[in-house]
Structure 1
Amino acid sequence: MKIILISSIILYQKFISPLFGKKCRFYPSCSEYSILAIKKYGLWIGLWKTLLRIIKCNPLNPGGVDYP
């Protein structure tokens, strides 16, 4: 399951993300953060941390460096 999810995120990074341009407030980007979190913490905790990261990505948050 992890491999399928990570593969779909990589496909998103290569084919869909370039259409929207660079707008991420954080480093690493949310999709890269997701891959790192899933590899480090496993599927469910990695997805939870990814969801929290996406919630933080809003105009009220200045962004910055945020590793999982």
Structure 2
Amino acid sequence: MKKFIIKLIKKYQEATKGKNPTCKYRPTCSNYAVQAFENYNIFYAALLSIWRVLRCNPFSKGGYDPIPKYKKELKAQLKAEKEANKKESF
């Protein structure tokens, strides 16, 4: 079922290819959904995808917004880099 949903999203991406991207988030909402379905069960991935589309509105600031797994990894990496920079400055 997950593979079928991912194929549907890819078909959507192909159909809209060449049009100006209007998603203010990176990755785009459709890429976010694909990543969610590749990394989580179907129900959680659907919930993440729907929540992402609901957040994509004129009142949001947008920006870099990866799926939760990657947010945790990115925060840990940034924290490690900050600590390494502190050690180097002493």
TM-score normalised by structure 1 residue count: 0.92
- Residues matched between the structures, number: 67
User: Alpha-carbon deviation of 1:42?
Assistant: 1.6
1:14 partner amino acid = E
Distance of 1:39 and 1:48 partners within structure 2: 14
Q: Deviations over 1:9-46 (max 9, x none)?
A: 0000011x236421001000000000001111121100
RMSD of the TM alignment (CA)?
1.1
Letter of the aligned partner of 1:6 in structure 2? I
Rg (Cα) greater in structure: 2
**Aligned: 1:2 with 2:6:** no
Taking the aligned partners of 2:14 and 2:61, their CA distance within structure 1 comes to: 26
Partner of 2:71: none
Q: Which residue of 1 aligns with 2:50?
A: 51
Q: Distance in 2 between matches of 1:18 and 1:40?
A: 24
- Equivalent pairs: percent with the same residue? 30
Query: Which secondary structure state, in structure 2, belongs to the residue aligned with residue 38 of structure 1?
Result: helix
Aligned to 1:37: 36
Show structure 1 runs of 5+ residues with no match. none
Provide the secondary structure at the position in 2 that maps to 1:50. helix
> Which segments of structure 1 move beyond 6 Å, counting only runs of 4 or more?
none
SS at 2:17 equivalent: helix
